[in-house]
Structure 1
Amino acid sequence: MKANYKFSNICGTVYQQGNILFTPDGNTLLSPVGNRVSVFDLVNNKSRTLPVENRKNIAAIALSPDGNVLVSVDEDGRALLVNFKRGVVLHHFNFQKPVQDIQFSHDGKFIAVTHGSHVQVWRTPNHLVREFAPFVLHRTYTGHHADVSSIRWSPDSSKISCFITTSRDMTARLFTLDPLEGFRPKTFAGHKDAVVGAYFSANGKFIYTVSRDGAVFTWTAKEEPDDAEQLASSSFAHSIPQIRWGVHDRHYFNLPHTKVVCTTFHPSSNLLVVGFSSGVFGLWELPSFTNIHTLSISQEKISSVAISPTGEWLAFGARRLGQLLVWEWQSESYILKQQGHYFDMNTLAYAPDGQTIATGGDDGKLKVWSVQNGFCFVTFSEHTAPIMGITFAKHGSVLFSASLDGTVRAFDLVRYRNFRTFTSPSPAQFSSIAVDPSGEVVAAGSTDTFEVFMWSVQTGKLLDILAGHEAPVSTLAFSPTGANQLASGSWDRTIRIWSVFGRSRAVEPLTLSSDVLSIAFRPDGMELGASTLDGQITFFDVRSGKQSNVIDGRKDVSGGRKADDRVAAANSSSTKAFTSLAYTADGSCVLAGGNSKYVCLYDVREGEGVLVKKFQISENLSLDGTQEFLDSRKVNDAGINIDLIDDRGNASDLEDRMDTSLPGASRGAGDMSVRKHRQEARTKCVRFSPTGRAWAAASTEGLLIYSLDDTVMFDPFDLTIDLTPQAVLNILAEGEYLKALVLAFRLNEKPIIQQVYERIPRSDIRLVARQMPNVYIPALLRFTSEHLEKSPHLEFDLIWVQTVITAHGRFLRDRSGEHAPVLRAAQKALGDVEGSISRLCDENTSTLQYLIDQSVVKHGLDDDTSSNASDD
């Protein structure tokens, strides 16, 4: 059993806070998710999350013009300089103050950063050279009287580099990068509210400023008789600092009770995009201020907006809803529309094929996510209360969910509808669910009646009520072997194993030392594991009903001290229990997670119970419970942690200052004892993939997926100093195709592999595939599947797939568990090709039928015309 699982992706969250931005080619969108950055490929419809983490939630990100260097800055001003293409941290740096905006210059040589009421410009570190002190301060710019909120650089065509800044002091200021003789920073005043954004036009003739109250000012050259000749002889674009700017036009959005939250500008097309606090965005053409488009896309305010380099796509992020949208304004269609759970994610389940994951949350939503691309492709909103448990039927096309609204629902994943709803005779809240291996019986445990209800999936009728527990039923599990055994765990410190189709209802309970939180059957059905409130994992032999092993996991799972804890992390009882258990596919290991930042993997073969590895789900200090020790510097004179003081009264937006507490309760900075809620780092549910190659955790930060890194085929024992890309190409030119292909896979460079692969003659494919060493067969089949999805050489790829499976099918079958992802990739590629060819044939058939019909009609008309002529 391999244990080198590594963080792979975050699926359940698409946007939290900060700014979103497009890559220079416009095909990819970057979005901050907690203290990580997610990357959405809009062309190939895939998403991934960079493996680097900031100390706290990210407040601002910036990407260099060449797309090589990414800077992410957290809430405290601590920055990471990341090689974007490889996802590797190059440098750490502390800007000492919270950063509102960070921007690269057009040539990528400088980085401008807000620093309170000042602006700092730093020289961009060289990402190819390791330096001791890579960040070198160029200059600090002063002049604003309040915090600077945004920075924009002058156009590329400007010979004198300058930038314009906006601030809460209701002004914008123009600075030059280097000192200029006779130049003083110019101030753009006249707004009656904080200036949100200021932008240069493409030719440098205009400057546009936008304020929170909905005013847009257009600034242009204020010509005077004395300097008219000077202005006429110089280009506007090259003399932005020398221009004497004045207000040319004043425009207003005139939307009552609405504030401007975020803006962006596309200079080449003169498009201004504005996001409002009402969830509406607008598109205006400047300087004429013509409204092109207005649309309501969210129920909450739009937090961030970005426009692609070509000006075709608009991206929006809504912080409160966790929404991320990409809108093509010309065709008025969505390119991307994703939203995570509004509240915490409670439970998850893997589909039997391992390609999809379903999640249920406190918001009553049931979402189904694709593991391949990380996107949610269907959301069910039928439940009206938190969803506490979900599970798939064995064939994978039916999904069951149990909720506190008193219903158990069955969803059809082919037609995407709720086709069955199960209820109890008297109202009851359901907290657990299980489906038998045949998929014909569904069971749910109740929290208030302490009973287990069983229904028929086909008829929807209640089959039986299992009574005997004396406390809420917290967990259920059917035996996976089809032995008609149902295990139920309860807070009454017992586990009962029911023979659901037997005549006798006499059940001898298995007694434990504490409340049962979770149970799981081993895949062979011979062993049952149970986690209890005292932090132990107890194992029972199902046949004899005797205890076979105990793991004391209190020390393993404990970790992380909350900001208001009086006791140390080692003595805290709130984090010392596993709330979720999952066996691996081979039954050799158990994965356990709970109300802490750790997920533990235990080896349970032969009753050992050895801790194999501990995974820390997050290092985000913005979450409660990620620190082992509290910082005494954050405790004020009243003995209260300053992170817990409610500072909403200092917020700038009216809706953020509104008191949502009970009448008569004090709030804000007036009462320093008022607490605020911080999310805790915890794991609600863990599940293994059916193949065992990955596992997922429903956590505070979203749906975390950890997988084995099986994409690299690197064998240093087979490498020699002579093995280079040029050597591979030379061997290929000599016609030694098998040797060239093997060497290309040893190098593991995709361009080289593709070049060798496509140069192999069609007549030699069968010979090369048969003689390919077994160690490279999975890599060859995976590469062929990927090539089949993207390449127009359909017959060529199909011959490769057929030959590899025919020649090495026995090898792949004997190791089906290890190579299941490769086989599924090949199956998916073949299915997509089949669907494409089928659609193409249908379209061609319809077109030919249409042409035949038109020909018949035409000949009929010609015959009628000729007959009429003969009659005349």
Structure 2
Amino acid sequence: MKTEFKFSNLLGTVYCKGNLLFTPDGTCLLSPVGNRVTVFDLINNKSYTLPLSHRRNISRLALNPRGNLLLSVDEDGRAILANFHRRLALHHFSFKAPVSALAFSPSGRHFAVGVGRLVEVWKTPATPDADTDEGLEYAPFVRHRVHAGHYDTVQSIEWSSDSRFFLSCAKDLTARIWSFDPEDGFIPTTLAGHRESVLGAWFSSDQEQIYTVSQDGALFRWGYSQRPETKGDVDTREDDDRALQWRVVQRHYFLQNNAKVMCAAYHTESNLLVAGFSNGLFGLYELPDFNMIHTLSISQNGIDFVTLNKSGEWLAFGASKFGQLLVWEWQSESYILKQQGHFDSMNALVYSPDGQRIITTADDGKVKVWDTQSGFCVVTFTEHSGGVTACEFAKRGNVLFTSSLDGSIRAWDLIRYRNFRTFTAPSRLSFSSVAVDPSGEVVCAGSLDSFDIHIWSVQTGQLLDQLSGHEGPVASLAFAPSGDVVVSGSWDHTVRIWSIFGRSQTSEPIQLQADVLHVAFRPDSKQVAVSTLDGQLTFWSVSEASQEAGVDGRRDVSGGRKISDRRTAANVAGTKSFNCIAYSTDGNCVIAGGNSKYICLYDVQSGTLIKKFTVSVNLSLEGTQEFLNSRNLTEAGPRGLVDERGEASDLEDRIDRTLPGATRGDLSVRRTRPEVRVPALAFSPTGRAFCAASTEGLLVYSLDNALQFDPFDLDINITPASTLQAIEEKEFLLALIMAFRLNERLLIRQVYEAIPITDATLLVKEIPIVYLARLLRFVAQATDESPRLEFNLRWVEALLHAHGPYLKDHASSFASELRTVQKAIAKIQFELTRLADDNVYALDYLLAQPLLSAVLDHKPKEMSLMTNGNGALEDHTNEDMEGEWIGLGDDDGDVD
């Protein structure tokens, strides 16, 4: 089994905090999800998460106008400059303080940063060039200028279209105009007059007006005009340079009752202003007349951020309290994107039998279905009135079963997306586990309130039996894939194997040393894995009820220390056990996770640890640090637990709504420090990926990591220019290898199409084996996409002839590539068959044309006499009848 799983995607979380960002072409939306960035492709309906992670939650994002540089800054002011298209980190930098505003200039040469009450202008780092050494800098971040004038935190920065000036607004109730470089006659100007903090300030398209919006719902329009006392005084106006000034021309108010303005955005080209309010409403207004286009309620809580794409057609909203992300097209009044993650801790997950869906359940009572290809939530079920604790698929069909704390087991039809059956116990119980017969005829459930196992018939919905024998709460249930037995684990230190379809429903008890947390069946139904509270993983034979292997995982899973822990991470007892385990598809490995930041992959036969996956390095979560910093320990306790909200200037920020003792986060506020934990794990049916439900979301690790830039054996001499030079020198093998090392699709296609087909047979024989999979996959995709049919098929033929025996011996390693080749060839065969059938009818028609022409040429002229509209005869020659043949026949129907 391959073990090189890499982080592939993050599902279940679509927005946490910070600003949203459209790409320059307006087709993709960037959203901060904790310490990562997720990109939503709104055209192709896909999402992916960048493989870059900060040490804390991201607070600000910015893209340069070209769209190739992404600058992300976390809560501590540490920044990562990344190549957005290649998903590669270029530089790391620290601004020494939290960043509250960030914006690139329209020229892309500089960017402005709001650091506290200061506005800093920095030079944009140069990107590496293929032909020069520009970009290979030791210190790429160079500060150009620092502007000090605000008395409180800067909230937003907006540049003018010519990159000469920029506006900054802050919590000190003012907005200020700055120049990039000192200019003659320009003095930095303060725009004052608002009664609450200014959220945004923007230039108009002609830069003759400025719009400012404050938190109390006031919109001011500023114009550059004469002072009232100097109007008409020509001499004073000519002598005094300060006769012209920025002053308020017009005042408007949103008038949304007691709702505050939370965010605002302005589109310069179309003069559209959109504002989001604390009551979940947003309004769209046309400036400068302040005409309201429409308002809409999109959330039950405040909207944290809003932005518009380049064309001004799409509005993107982010609401952090419930983790909502929406993209609204205001002209058609329809949603382009509407996603929301679980706003409480996830409890369980399961893959669909075809591997195309992932189902997650959480304490918020919702069941969500996620598409593995697009990364979007397909449907959400809300029928449960309590936390959903477990979910399981019937192996045959699209039927899902879930158990809940509301005392019900529900069956869902994932074709029609409806709840078609509900199972309940005679007495009110909170079910914590569920297991389903592979045939889908019987469903079992266990509870922490009762020690019995309840069994229902799916067809009738009736309770068939209650299995007694456990002396403690039933923590986990699992049906054998063969369907003959069910295994239950309990807190009474026993695991019982039940034969529920036999005449005598006897159970075989297996005694363990600690409370059982989870049980899992091997795919061949011959072995069961058990996780206990003492950190042990034991593997038992189902037929013999004897232990076959064991793993002590206490040292492997332990890790991570809370800021309130008095013991080190190695001595904390709460993280020394696995809460969930899952077998791989081939049954050779088992993956396990718990209340820790580690996921462990073990080999079952030898009991050795193969690999450890770190769930998160986000220091905003509890349990991600191995050692605590003594500088954060104050006389009042750890600095992270000291309530500093009392010093906030706004009443809304001073109110503390957190619940004491909440470890999973609080529904009423998302500023608590949730603990990193992994409550559920599952392998995909193909074995090429596995997913883990964590505090940050649904993490997907995959072997098929489709990154655009995956350098292999790369050095400084391999560039696109040197690759094209190798083609000119007819070094085709060298050029192809260099293109694969750079892994840029357009360059690979250029090299591939430049190779003569006569050299393909010799070239594929010399290609290193390490590039064989990549070449096979690329040729198969080119066969499917390119119109050069014979050229691509000759390449496929050469590859299969040269490496056929090797591919046969390593069929499992090349299964994905061979399936792609087979799919492409089958598509070509189908299209050729259809084309040939169409040509048969076309040839029949063309062969019949000479006969028809002969008939028309020998037609008597008197037979072409027809009447016109007036009833008179009209002469139609053979030339008039061209293209509209009329069947001429004798009495027998034959053509004369």
| SS of aligned partner of 1:163 | strand
* Structure 1 position 190 matched with structure 2 position 193: yes
User: 1:214 is matched by which residue type in structure 2?
Assistant: G
User: 1:480 is matched by which residue type in structure 2?
Assistant: P
User: 2:426 is matched by which residue type in structure 1?
Assistant: P
Alignment equivalent of 1:172, drawn from 171, 175, 179:
175
| SS of aligned partner of 1:419 | strand
Query: Could you say which residue in structure 2 is the equivalent of 1:612?
Result: 610
The 8 Å contact of residues 411 and 417 in structure 1, kept in 2 or not, is answered as yes
User: 1:162 is matched by which residue type in structure 2?
Assistant: F
What CA distance in whole angstroms lies between the structure 2 residues aligned with 1:228 and 1:24?
48
What CA distance in whole angstroms lies between the structure 2 residues aligned with 1:385 and 1:360?
11
Query: Could you say which residue in structure 2 is the equivalent of 1:507?
Result: 507
The 8 Å contact of residues 764 and 799 in structure 2, kept in 1 or not, is answered as no
Deviation at 1:825, TM superposition (A): 6.9
Deviation at 1:210, TM superposition (A): 0.3
Percent of aligned positions that are identical: 54
Task: Give me the TM-score of the superposition, normalised by structure 2.
Answer: 0.82
Query: Could you say which residue in structure 2 is the equivalent of 1:46?
Result: 46
Query: Could you say which residue in structure 1 is the equivalent of 2:295?
Result: 294
Task: Tell me which moved more, 329-338 or 741-750.
Answer: 741-750
Query: Could you say which residue in structure 1 is the equivalent of 2:838?
Result: none
The 8 Å contact of residues 351 and 396 in structure 1, kept in 2 or not, is answered as no
Relative distance call for 1:796 and 1:773 in structure 2 (3 A) is farther
What CA distance in whole angstroms lies between the structure 1 residues aligned with 2:205 and 2:719?
52
What CA distance in whole angstroms lies between the structure 2 residues aligned with 1:319 and 1:440?
42
RMSD: 4.1
User: 1:196 is matched by which residue type in structure 2?
Assistant: L
Q: Deviations over 1:567-593 (max 9, x none)?
A: 111110010000010111111111110
What CA distance in whole angstroms lies between the structure 1 residues aligned with 2:367 and 2:57?
26
Alignment equivalent of 1:643, drawn from 640, 644, 648:
640
Deviation at 1:396, TM superposition (A): 5.0
What CA distance in whole angstroms lies between the structure 2 residues aligned with 1:185 and 1:210?
20
Alignment equivalent of 1:143, drawn from 149, 152, 156:
149
Query: Could you say which residue in structure 2 is the equivalent of 1:366?
Result: 367
User: 2:416 is matched by which residue type in structure 1?
Assistant: R
User: 1:455 is matched by which residue type in structure 2?
Assistant: W
What CA distance in whole angstroms lies between the structure 2 residues aligned with 1:243 and 1:286?
24
Relative distance call for 1:72 and 1:211 in structure 2 (3 A) is same
Task: Tell me which moved more, 675-684 or 548-557.
Answer: 675-684
What CA distance in whole angstroms lies between the structure 2 residues aligned with 1:612 and 1:711?
24
User: 1:42 is matched by which residue type in structure 2?
Assistant: L
Q: Deviations over 1:84-121 (max 9, x none)?
A: 22222222222122111111111122221112122111
Relative distance call for 1:530 and 1:826 in structure 2 (3 A) is farther
What CA distance in whole angstroms lies between the structure 2 residues aligned with 1:443 and 1:59?
46
Deviation at 1:698, TM superposition (A): 0.2
| SS of aligned partner of 1:72 | strand
User: 2:220 is matched by which residue type in structure 1?
Assistant: F
* Structure 1 position 109 matched with structure 2 position 106: no
Deviation at 1:677, TM superposition (A): 3.9
Deviation at 1:357, TM superposition (A): 0.9
Deviation at 1:130, TM superposition (A): 3.4
The 8 Å contact of residues 578 and 592 in structure 1, kept in 2 or not, is answered as yes
* Structure 1 position 134 matched with structure 2 position 140: yes
Relative distance call for 1:777 and 1:73 in structure 2 (3 A) is closer
Deviation at 1:783, TM superposition (A): 4.7
Query: Could you say which residue in structure 1 is the equivalent of 2:622?
Result: 624
What CA distance in whole angstroms lies between the structure 2 residues aligned with 1:39 and 1:828?
29
Q: Deviations over 1:336-367 (max 9, x none)?
A: 11110010111111122222211111111111
Deviation at 1:241, TM superposition (A): 11
Relative distance call for 1:355 and 1:169 in structure 2 (3 A) is same
The 8 Å contact of residues 387 and 401 in structure 1, kept in 2 or not, is answered as yes
Superposed, which structure 2 residues align to 1:515-594 within 5 Å? 515-594=515-594
The 8 Å contact of residues 728 and 743 in structure 1, kept in 2 or not, is answered as no
Superposed, which structure 2 residues align to 1:154-553 within 5 Å? 154-156=160-162, 161-223=164-226, 244-395=245-396, 397-482=398-483, 484-553=484-553
Deviation at 1:299, TM superposition (A): 1.2
User: 2:640 is matched by which residue type in structure 1?
Assistant: D
Query: Could you say which residue in structure 2 is the equivalent of 1:679?
Result: 674
User: 2:313 is matched by which residue type in structure 1?
Assistant: E
Q: Deviations over 1:123-173 (max 9, x none)?
A: 2222322333222222211111221111111122x6xx1111111111111
User: 1:411 is matched by which residue type in structure 2?
Assistant: W
User: 2:442 is matched by which residue type in structure 1?
Assistant: V
Relative distance call for 1:602 and 1:374 in structure 2 (3 A) is same
Query: Could you say which residue in structure 2 is the equivalent of 1:83?
Result: 83
Deviation at 1:62, TM superposition (A): 1.0
The 8 Å contact of residues 319 and 325 in structure 2, kept in 1 or not, is answered as yes
User: 1:216 is matched by which residue type in structure 2?
Assistant: L
Gap regions ≥5 residues in structure 1: 234-239, 667-674, 837-865
What CA distance in whole angstroms lies between the structure 1 residues aligned with 2:368 and 2:791?
35
What CA distance in whole angstroms lies between the structure 2 residues aligned with 1:136 and 1:715?
32
Query: Could you say which residue in structure 2 is the equivalent of 1:66?
Result: 66
* Structure 1 position 690 matched with structure 2 position 685: yes
> Which one has the largest radius of gyration?
2
Relative distance call for 1:207 and 1:130 in structure 2 (3 A) is same
What CA distance in whole angstroms lies between the structure 1 residues aligned with 2:734 and 2:613?
41
| SS of aligned partner of 1:574 | helix
| SS of aligned partner of 2:248 | strand
Deviation at 1:725, TM superposition (A): 5.0
User: 2:569 is matched by which residue type in structure 1?
Assistant: A
Deviation at 1:643, TM superposition (A): 0.6
Gap regions ≥5 residues in structure 2: 129-134, 662-669, 832-867, 872-896
Query: Could you say which residue in structure 2 is the equivalent of 1:860?
Result: none
User: 2:368 is matched by which residue type in structure 1?
Assistant: K
User: 1:688 is matched by which residue type in structure 2?
Assistant: F
User: 2:122 is matched by which residue type in structure 1?
Assistant: W
The 8 Å contact of residues 396 and 438 in structure 2, kept in 1 or not, is answered as no
Deviation at 1:262, TM superposition (A): 0.6
| SS of aligned partner of 1:509 | strand
The 8 Å contact of residues 410 and 421 in structure 1, kept in 2 or not, is answered as yes
* Structure 1 position 707 matched with structure 2 position 705: no
User: 1:620 is matched by which residue type in structure 2?
Assistant: N
Relative distance call for 1:358 and 1:217 in structure 2 (3 A) is same
What CA distance in whole angstroms lies between the structure 2 residues aligned with 1:27 and 1:461?
52
| SS of aligned partner of 1:100 | strand
The 8 Å contact of residues 784 and 797 in structure 1, kept in 2 or not, is answered as no
Q: Deviations over 1:260-317 (max 9, x none)?
A: 1111111111111111111111111111111112111111111111110111111111
Q: Deviations over 1:65-89 (max 9, x none)?
A: 1112211111121212222222222
How many residue pairs get matched?
A: 813
Relative distance call for 1:656 and 1:361 in structure 2 (3 A) is farther
What CA distance in whole angstroms lies between the structure 1 residues aligned with 2:24 and 2:233?
39
Query: Could you say which residue in structure 1 is the equivalent of 2:601?
Result: 601
What CA distance in whole angstroms lies between the structure 2 residues aligned with 1:136 and 1:739?
39
Deviation at 1:45, TM superposition (A): 1.3
